Amino acid sequence: MKHTWLLVVLFFMVDSLYSQDKFEKESRIKSSEVSMKATNYIESIFPESRKIKWYLEENLEGIAVEAKIKENRTVYSIKFDTLGNLQDIEFIQRFDELPSRVQQKIRGYFQGNYDRHKIRKTQIQWIGDANLLRSVLLKETQSQQYEVNYEIVFSGRKDGDTRSYEALFSDTGEHIETKKIIPRNLNHLIY
């Protein structure tokens, strides 16, 4: 009975960890370690790019493979599962370049939930069919049949405690979720 109780408590602790916290560990990998499906997808969009960097990302949801590319002054992060299936495409954009109504909604969320906040990074996230998103990136179509979200990394103070967070908002600026960023535990001294 004592062991059963312990397992139940651990289950709820792990479950809450997954839903409220964000942890990512990225390590560089060679393109030869990536599935052909993923490398072919990237090469079909960026055939001339020599600046493709591949990463293995370990996070609380599992393992993913990510290609990072800087093309025409835009930084793209294109995430795949380990089989090469597209998960999402993200690219960095300045917060003040988002639609003004979206900015207002997001600012309203921050003002209503934090004593202070500072936006560190803004990314636009596209989720949808891999072929459609390829066509959108190549500017072959203007279709809006994919999901658009805004991912905001920020520091916020709440009840006297300042932390780093990642918040996800819909294309209209509606809050979807916020996760505390768990800092990496470094085993060496940085000075």
Global confidence as pTM = 0.81
Could you give the angle at which helices 36-45 and 130-137 cross, rounded to 10 degrees? 30
Q: How far apart are CA 164 and CA 166, in angstroms?
A: 7
Domains and CATH numbers, the chain: 20-88 (3.10.450.360), 93-183 (3.10.450.40)
Q: Are 116 and 157 in contact (CB under 8 A)?
A: yes
The pLDDT tens digits of the residues spanning 98-134 come to 999 999 999 999 999 999 999 999 999 999 999 999 9
pLDDT higher for 69 or 60? Answer: 69
The pLDDT tens digits of the residues spanning 126-159 come to 999 999 999 999 988 877 789 999 999 999 998 8
Close Cβ partners of 148 (under 8 Å, ≥ 6 residues apart) = 124, 125, 126, 170, 171
- Lowest-confidence segment of 10-14, 103-107, 180-184 by average pLDDT: 10-14
First to last CA, the chain: 49
Q: What is the mean pLDDT of residues 56-78?
A: 90
**Over 70: is that where the pLDDT of 95 sits?**
yes
Task: Check residue 160 and report its DSSP letter.
Answer: T
Confidence class for position 185, pLDDT limits 50, 70, 90: low
Provide the β-strand partners of residue 153: 121, 166
